[in-house]
Amino acid sequence: MRRFLSVLLSVLMIFVLVSTVASCSKSSNHVVITFEGYGDVTFELYEKEAPITVAHFLKLIKDGSYANSYVNRLQPGFVLQAGAGCTDNSTIKGEFKSNGVENNISHTKGVLSMARGKGKDSASNQFFVMLGDATYLDGNYAAFGKCTEGFEIIEKIAKDLKEKNSYADTYYYFLKQDAYIKMSFRIVD
As a whole number of angstroms, the distance between CA 22 and CA 9 comes to 20
The pLDDT assigned to 104 comes to: 96
pTM of the entire predicted model = 0.83
On whether the CB atoms of residues 66 and 185 are closer than 8 A, the answer is: yes
The pLDDT assigned to 165 comes to: 82
The alpha-carbon radius of gyration of the chain (Å, integer) is: 20
The pLDDT assigned to 106 comes to: 98
Angle at 61 between CA 40 and CA 55, to 5 degrees: 115
As a whole number of angstroms, the distance between CA 125 and CA 54 comes to 12
The pLDDT assigned to 3 comes to: 58
Beta partners for residue 127, in sequence order: 82, 114
- Domains annotated on the chain, with CATH: 26-187 (2.40.100.10)
10-residue stretch averages of pLDDT, the chain, 189 residues long: 47 39 55 98 97 96 92 96 79 96 97 95 95 98 98 97 88 90 95
